[in-house]
Structure 1
Amino acid sequence: MKRIICCCIFILTLHLYSFAQNNNNGIIRGKVVEQEGGLPIPFAVVAVSENNAEQPLFTFQTDENGLFKFTNLKPGTYKLKVSYVSYTPLIVNEIAITAASPDKNLGLLKLASSQNNLNEVVITQDKPVIEIGADVITYNVGSSILAEGSTATDLLKEVPMVQVDIDGNATIAGKRSTRVFIDGKPSDYMTSNIADLLNVLPSDAIEKIEVMTNPPAKYSADGEGIINIVMKKGFKVGFNGNVSISAGLQGNTNANANASYKGQNYNLSLGGAYRKNVGKSNSESYRTNFFPDTTFYYNQFNQANSKSDGGNFRTSLDWDITKQQNLRVTASFNLNNGDNESGNDFYYISEENITKRLRNQINTGNTSSNNFVFNTDYNFKLDTIGSKLSAGITVGTNSNNSLRSFHRSYAFPANLNPTLQQNDNEIGNRNINFNLDYDKPVFNKRDRLEFGIAYNYRKNDNNQLVEDYNFKTQQYNTNIKLSNQFFYNENILAAYGSYNYRKNGWSAKAALRSEYTNVNFDLSTGQTYNVDPYFSFFPSLSLNRYFRKRYNIGLSYSVRINRPRENALNPQINNADTLNISYGNPHLNPSFTHQVDLTFGVFGKNWSFTPRLSYSTAKGVIERYRFVKSNGVSESTFDNVGSNDNMSLMLIGNYRPTKTISANGNFGVFRSKYRSDINNSLNKEGVSIRSRIGFSAQLPYKTAFEASLSYNNNVNAQGRNKGSVNTSFGLRKSFLKNNLIARISANDPFRASHTSTYSEGLNFYSQSYGVSNSNNVTFSLTWRFTRIKTNKVEIPPPPKN
């Protein structure tokens, strides 16, 4: 008997020794499904790492049935992280691989929807910077070094398919009109200038940015795409937050603080930020004017300096009233102030190169704006299979005041006296947004049915007072021709429904949204414009297929609308530059766009590649166009210029050769073709290019490095906007158990941002060149404070054979 026991011990010892020597027998497997409905989640990102390590050893994507399997693991204790777009990540701790138990089957791992999750088990998350879905591209802010210590405007420059112009306006590449949403609500209802809002929104308060070329039916049908900025909700159990300060060599500063506390059934978040920016730019433009009897030139040289500062303050309460009911209340307040001054030199040169007139102009101005937004959302789980009812209301108010002065002096003709003009522009907005949504799983929880209603109300008051200075009486007198007040009212009532079918790797979705629009506006001069109310229908279809564990293909079709907004409708004249004036057009009609997108994705163990092919056609396209009158004055306004056909190819990929190095990039080619009946000069076609490449590496000693390079060259209805190559570099190091983080970033260190544009019409050709102080080095420090409880997930025993 003793011999038998000794033999068993000897055999067991040999087995344990053999396993210890052979370090590739460990297995971790499981299946990722939805918490509500239990459907498998294909292509969810699953990462395994050693229990105390920050970086994953391996990253895997689930197959079309939600299954994953890690092999060749050494004995030890591991941690598993599961994440997917629009779901809250899940972490499984303390997975022990031993000789006695080398195969760990975790069973079903259930992911909860991040939009309505009442019982989170997520403690930390480690997402890739960019996630690609069938209809959405997600940029995870917390995973990027370049995102730290910056603002929403800076972040958008790093997001695939997004381009930001020199004024801070963000659009989806290849799309003429883009809406910017915050937490699913349109931000252009929150402010009169979206760029001002994005410039004070701190990156530390943002969780992710979603780019949707085919938005769900519950979103507004306005715009050819939506950029949705999702704010952090602080769903970590306990108390946590951060304080950060940054300063740049050019004088820009940024300070912000965020804190949140999550109790058993509630979460309270507070945040605030202050930023100060300094801007400098130089530009020059050359315009050639062609007329039957002469040709002459206008050359213009500009220098501008600006200083601005602003603050952003936010608070939110997320309360689980019961296990079925959740209430979220948020409030935010933003303010901006700015001062600017510029000098302009204007030259009028005849065909014989003789200067006929020389004018100098000094411009000074200051602006201030503020907006307040209050939002509340209520969610009610109707049953245990995932049916839910959601209701939300948003109320916002904002104001903007701009005071500008233009002092003009003339050298030719010599008898022309100097002039001094003052423009005081006050803008006020009021808005209400309401939505009611019902979502229900059907047919054994496999499919989903959703329908709802929404209402948007917008009121805008734009008051422009123009005064000319009388040097004799030393008084300002009202300029009646240029002064005006513009009142705008918009009511949109919408109803929508959608059905989502999923089975065996297939996903099909059909949706229909209908909107009733009632718009009217008038001027203080007595002119009233009543637009006939109209119904619009917006169908959308999408079909996606996941197969062979590494491929997906998607096809979508949608109809969108581009409504003329008040800035395009307002006929008030802007004559800050009397040789190049601009105004709106109150006779604009909405434009409708039909768009088709084809997406194909290939995923490997360390890489992914996703080409996107898109086609869109639009009628009655709203574009700003320019013409020169017989007196040589250039005028620009908006009109329904005609039709536009756009074909684009976007290539998006990422590569991670090791667990510490990753690269991502995108390259897009966009071909636009304009056809117009109102102006032959708008019959244009051309190719736009957008490209970006990013690189990041985790270095020794808790140090990380990130870099990006981008280039844009865009065509428009009358010409082209060409930008220079822009570069960014960031280096980060952690101290004191990762609580203190130091960062240095360099933006365009080799060369300031250069832009060039050209445009042409029936009787003119114009070229412009500009340089701005984008080259800057910024230093920042962040202190993170955390008091977090840990939720452990129970590992179910392996199923019996």
Structure 2
Amino acid sequence: MKNYILSFLFYLLLSVPIRAQEFKVSGTVIHTDNSEISFANILLYTAADTSFVKGSVTDEIGFFSVDQIPAAAYLLKASYMGNHSQFIKIDVQSNIDIGLVSVDSEAQALDEVVVVFQKPTLEQKVDRLVFNIGNTALSESNIWEALKSTPSVFIMNNEITVKGEKGVQVLINDKKVNLPQEDILNLLNGTSANGVQAIEVITAPPAKYDAEGGTMINIRMNKNLIAGYNGAVFNRYTQGNFPQHTLGTNHYFKGEKLETSFNYSFSQRKELTNYTDITNYMENGAITDIWTSDLEVIDRSRRHNSSIFLDYKVNTNNTISFSSITTFTPKFVGRDYSETVIRETNDPNSTGFFTKNDSKFSSVNTAFYLDYENKLNDEGALIAFNAHYTFYDYDKNQELETDFYDERKTIVNENAFSTTNQQRTDLYSIQTDYSTPLGESFILESGFKYALTSSESDISQQGFNREQPGIDPMEDGQFLYDENIYAAYTSVETKWENWSFKSGLRAEYTKTKGDFSLDKNVIGKDYLELFPTVFFQFTPTEKHRFGLNYKRSIIRPDYSTINPFQVFQSSNSVVEGNVNLRPSFKNSAIFSYTYDKDYTLELFYRYHKNAISLFTYQDNESKLLRFITDNLDRELAYGLDFIYRKEIVKAWDAYLLTSYFYASERFNDRNTNNQIDNNLWTLLVQFKNNLTFLEDRSLTANLNFTYVSPIVVGNSRQREYSDWEIALKKNIWSKKANISLTVSDIFNQFKLHNTRDYGDQYNISYYRPDSRTFTLGFRYNFGNMGIRDNYKNKDTEERERL
């Protein structure tokens, strides 16, 4: 540990602060009679292509300030009540006060500047890929559907992956969503994507972010660019095998000092999922009997999702922010019905059993964030503080009934038992960040964070009366788990000539402790780890760009997976927790080359020690199919990505990703302890098209295709699958409303087939979700929708930015 601390201190001392400086543009807006204008809109565009950069609003005496502007040439314009100033060209190389900006109604005649408001659908930045969805049909879906259509993001069995890499963390406005995987799906499924400005796929997160996970997806929500209020109501109906319905509203307000947004939705869902498990139980290497289980799952749920974001500008240099994200499920009812057919190898007859599994649960997950930011000087130095609290409460009751039948389908036995499971988790964190420029080309960032997680889980099972080896349902059990994390980081960034460099180091000391009521052994460990990040970029000419980045990260076990409880799906199918799970550590490196901004080749290497994966394991002696989360010995992947993004014509831009890689997952067989290597070469393909139709560009469409060849998943091999999706959006009533239509999995091809065949394991599983769906949506916008009235263009209709 001393060596780690010394290494970290040494790095802090040697770190050179590096990054290009940003500046401030200020001034005062007045009428032609020299009276000041309060709440005038300030709009800043690049002079090169007149694309929108940033907006602001004047205070009560007409003063405005636009901060954090990189050095470049810009066009600035002020507008108020339909009246405008002339465009003012400014060359920003230092802080600039442009003095008085006069707004005159005559200025509306200005038409020699054509302003382009449409954001690029896809932007490649230093450490992230930015997918702007505001001007696509995807904005009328929910966030989960938009995420599935995001370049480089793949959804596999409801788990988010980036180019096949697991352990992805989800953030909203740079704030981590502390939800279990299932609840993240529910939150994003119930939240309209219309409030989303962009989805950022952060492949090389800076040291400022937690080391957890590696790749991150940041969902950046909209903010008002002009003063005033606007809002919307929306209604979305989805039809698969069963109907689903979502009703919601969004609201935005921006005043002199206060800016806020509020989003709410209520959803009712009924979903069908089918599973088939075929297990070949073995003895001495020979198959003795085959158990085939067909499971039909019907879930009904009601959910409320809400979020609020509030910024209050105390003065020019101080801002206080509050935000909250909540998902509340007052009612979730599940009905699982399965039949398991048992055939012995040398017997033509079959026996089996029917299982009915009724479950009910409710949950609430709410997070609160409080932020304070203080700009220390005009050069860009600032200090920020953040406090966070998340409360998660989960209650589930399960009633499981089984009827056993003989060769004549006569019921010969039955059993039933009930399970009650409760979990409560509290998360607290505080963080401080400091950044300061040193000279004109460098910036230094550093900070500290403390996080505490406290979780309590209780289980009670009653009525189980069948004596079967391997089944050990505890009557009552309690598991307490605490985790403390102390973190510190420093990062540096610079640009010189054709080079860009960013580097950081994060240290995290973790202390965990578990207390299981039925086991007196000590559970937990303490460890200190360092997580470096390095990024280089070299641009010798306008058409050529080279990049290199490296990052080390950690993935800690989920709180639910370490609970040492058995939860039965049927009499021979059980999901088990694992208190012995260890954290995993991932090292990732990417070398990239981009030609003419549209063609990119990436060579990548990934080594993941103790990777955490869900194992499906057959217990041949007890005739049990067990689902256990465990550590792999290691996960190794390397390969080549080709990325093509191009505006083929004005009305059509396309994105193509092909990733061909070798993946090897090594683990120990649970019976023999022999080392097993599960490896394959895999091809991932994404082809996404954004299209615009009609003269007024009011009709947009997205056509997306996904293909995944056979791939390794833990101790499984998964067959290939593909998926087509189309989405349409039509603006109506002068863009005050729109209707949308989405058809997912058009050809009903999304089915997952997994096989585990090694040693004494030979089982197959099929996963068939209700993925072919038809969705119809309607949205109506109201309030201050005059954004387009605040500036004019020449010969074109302005496009929506938000």
Give the alignment's TM-score, normalised by structure 1.
0.81
Is the aligned partner of 1:429 residue 2:425? yes
What does residue range 296-375 of structure 1 map to in structure 2 within 5 Å? 296-336=289-329, 337-375=331-369
Candidates 196, 200, 206, aligned match of 2:190: 200
For residues 577-612 of structure 1, give each alpha carbon's deviation from its aligned partner in whole angstroms, at most 9, with x where no partner exists: 3323231221222222221111222235xxx12222
- Residues 543 and 38 (structure 1 numbering): CA distance in 2 closer, same or farther, change over 3 Å? farther
Note the alpha carbon deviations across 1:523-569, whole angstroms, 9 max, x for none: 22253534232211111111111231122211011111122232332
Note if 1:170 corresponds to 2:164.
no
How far has the Cα of 1:452 moved from its partner?
A: 0.3
Q: Say yes or no: does 1:705 pair with 2:701.
A: yes
* Mapping for residues 42-81 of structure 1, pairs under 5 Å: 69=48, 80-81=51-52
Residue equivalent to 1:108: 91
Aligned to 1:438: 434
**Equivalent residue letter for 2:396:** S
- Give the letter for the 2:636 counterpart: D
Supply the AA of the counterpart residue of 1:163. F
Give how far 1:272 is off. 1.0
Distance 1:347 1:157 in 2: 36
Partner residue in 1 for 2:462: 467
- For residues 196-595 of structure 1, the aligned pairs below 5 Å read 196-250=186-240, 251-292=243-284, 294-295=286-287, 296-336=289-329, 337-412=331-406, 416-444=412-440, 446-468=441-463, 481=474, 483-595=476-588
Separation in 1 of the partners of 2:226 and 2:665? Answer: 51
- Give me the whole-angstrom Cα distance separating, in 1, the residues matched to 2:614 and 2:180: 24
- The code of the aligned residue for 1:197 comes to L
Q: How does 1:651-730 map to 2 (within 5 A)?
A: 651-677=642-668, 679-680=673-674, 682-700=676-694, 702-713=698-709, 714-722=711-719, 724-730=721-727
Query: Which piece of structure 1 moves more, 220-229 or 318-327?
Result: 220-229
Which 10-residue stretch deviates more, 612-621 or 351-360?
351-360
Deviation, 1:35, is 7.9
Q: What root-mean-square deviation, in Å, do the aligned CA atoms of Structure 1 and Structure 2 show? A: 3.2
Contact (CA 8 Å) 1:190, 1:373: kept in 2 or not?
Answer: no
| Structure 1 residue 286, shift from structure 2 partner | 1.7
- Residue of structure 2 in register with 1:779 after alignment: 776
Higher relative contact order (CA 8 A, sep 6+): 2
Q: Is the 8 A contact 2:416 2:463 kept in 1?
A: yes
Q: Does the 8 A contact of 1:722 with 1:757 survive in 2?
A: yes
| 1:159 maps onto 2:146 in alignment | no
Tell me, yes or no, if the aligned pair for 2:634 and 2:666 is still in contact at 8 Å.
yes
Q: Which amino acid aligns with 1:755?
A: L
Query: Given residue 52 of structure 2, which amino acid in structure 1 is its aligned partner?
Result: K
Contact 1:35 1:110 (8 Å CA) reproduced: no
Would you say the 8 A contact 2:665–2:712 is kept in 1? no
Change (3 A) 1:289 1:691: same
* Range 371-380 or range 304-313, more displaced: 304-313
Contact 2:678 2:712 in 1 (8 A): no
Q: In the alignment, is the contact (CA less than 8 A) between 1:311 and 1:334 conserved in 2?
A: yes
Q: Distance in 2 between matches of 1:740 and 1:67?
A: 30
How far apart in 1 are the matches of 2:94 and 2:185? 35
Quote how far apart the aligned CAs of 1:406 are: 1.3
CA distance in 2, matches of 1:94, 1:568: 55
Equivalent-residue separation in structure 2 for 1:683 and 1:469 (angstroms): 39
Residue 488 of structure 1: how far off its partner (Å): 1.1
**Which whole-Å CA distance do the structure 1 matches of 2:334 and 2:634 have between them?**
38
CA distance in 2: counterparts of 1:192 and 1:528, whole angstroms: 31
| Separation (CA, whole Å) in 2 of partners of 1:723 and 1:485 | 42
Aligned CA distance change for structure 1 residues 792 and 303 (closer, same or farther; 3 Å): closer
SS of alignment partner, residue 586 of structure 1: coil
CA apart distance, 1:511: 0.9
- For residues 47-87 of structure 1, the C-alpha deviation after alignment (integer angstroms, 9 at most, x for no partner) is xxxxxxxxxxxxxxxxxxx99757xxxxxxxx643589x98
Identity rate, percent: 20
- Whether the 8 Å contact between 1:266 and 1:318 is mirrored in structure 2 is yes
Distance 1:560-1:303 versus aligned 2 partners, 3 A rule: same
- TM-aligned CA distance change 1:603 to 1:87, over 3 Å: farther
Worse-matched range after superposition: 777-786 or 372-381? 777-786
Q: Counterpart amino acid of 2:91?
A: L
Unaligned runs of at least 5 residues, structure 2: 1-18, 26-44, 56-66, 79-86, 96-114, 793-802
Equivalent residues of 2:138, 2:193 under 8 A apart: no
Task: Note the alpha carbon deviations across 1:411-454, whole angstroms, 9 max, x for none.
Answer: 1387852111212211111111211000111122x111000001
Moved more, 356-365 or 485-494: 356-365
Contact kept in structure 2, 1:306 and 1:338, CA below 8 Å: yes
Q: Is the 8 A contact 2:418 2:462 kept in 1?
A: yes
> What is the CA distance between 1:257 and its match in structure 2?
1.0
In the alignment of these two chains, the number of paired residues is 696
The letter for the 1-side match of 2:547 is: G
Q: Say whether residues 1:769 and 2:791 are aligned partners.
A: no
What's the counterpart of residue 100 of structure 1? none
Structure 2 equivalent of residue 750 of structure 1: 747
Kindly tell me: are residues 105 and 341 of structure 1, through their superposed partners in 2, closer, same or farther at Cα, counting changes over 3 Å?
A: same
Structure 1 pair 723–196 and aligned structure 2 pair: CA distance change class (3 A): farther
Amino acid at match of 1:458: T
Q: Which moved more, 1:544-553 or 1:370-379?
A: 544-553
Deviations along 1:603-641, whole A, 9 cap, x unmatched?
A: 35xxx1222221011223333332423232233423333
Secondary structure in 2 matching 1:417: strand
CA distance in 2, matches of 1:553, 1:161: 20
Distance 2:734 2:185 in 1: 37
> Structure 2 CA distance, aligned partners of 1:282 and 1:639?
25
Structure 1 counterpart of 2:251, one-letter code:
A
- Matches of 2:713 and 2:225 in 1, distance apart? 44
Residue 735 of structure 1 aligns with which residue? 732
Alpha-carbon distance change, 583 to 735 in structure 1, aligned in 2, over 3 angstroms: same
Measure the CA separation in 1 of the matches of 2:705 and 2:642.
Answer: 16
Q: What is the distance in 2 between the residues matched to 1:315 and 1:260?
A: 10
Match of 1:277, as an amino acid?
R
Residues 564 and 578, structure 2, Cα contact 8 Å, conserved in 1: yes
SS in 1 for 2:561: helix
